[in-house]
Amino acid sequence: MRKFLAAACLLLAAQFAAAEDLPVIAGLKAFRAPMERIVAEGGKGRDADLSVIAAAYEDADKAWKQVTSEPMDMEAYGIPAERQEDAWREVRMVGMLVGYLDEAVKRGDRALMLRAVGLLRPAYDKLAARLGLR
C-alpha cells in the first residue's frame, strides 16, 4: 500500500511540475509583477503617472506574448471539457484588456487606461484561479 501511495504522489508531483513548465503558466507568473505595478499606479485615479503605467505595460506585454505564444491545451491544465469555454473566455478577457492598455499607452488616453486597469486585476485573478495558480 505504501508503494502505491508513494507512486501516486510521485505521479501527481510529476504532473504538477509538467504544468509548471508550460509557457502559459510561466507567462502568467511573469505577467503578475508588472500587472501589480500597473494596478497600483492606476489605483491613484487622476493622480496616476501614465509614464509609470506605460513602463510597466512594456514588461506586461512581453509576458502576455509568452502566454499567447503557443496554443493553449486546456486538457494539460486539468480543466474539464465542460469548463473550457469559461477558461477561454477568461483568457480572451485578459487579452482584450492588454489590448486596451496597448491602445491607451499609444494614444496617451488616461480614461481608457484607467478603465482597463480597473478591470485587469479581477480578470487576471479569475484566470489564475482557473489555471490553478491561486
Query: Of 115 and 17, which is predicted with more confidence?
Result: 115
Q: Domain 23-130 class?
A: mainly alpha
Spatial separation of the C-alpha atoms in residues 114 and 38, rounded to whole Å? 10
Could you give the angle at the alpha carbon of 19 between the alpha carbons of 99 and 35, nearest 5°?
A: 30
Residues 86, 96, 74, 5, CA torsion sign: negative
Predicted confidence at residue 134, as pLDDT, reads 63
Among 66, 71, 75, residue whose Cα is nearest residue 32? 66
Predicted confidence at residue 7, as pLDDT, reads 41
pTM of the model: 0.72
Q: Contact, 120 vs 35, CB < 8 A? A: yes
How do residues 19-69 score in pLDDT, each as one tens digit?
Answer: 455 777 888 888 889 999 999 998 888 888 888 888 999 999 998 888 888
Q: What percent of the chain has pLDDT over 70?
A: 84
Domain ranges for the chain, please list them.
23-130
Predicted confidence at residue 81, as pLDDT, reads 80
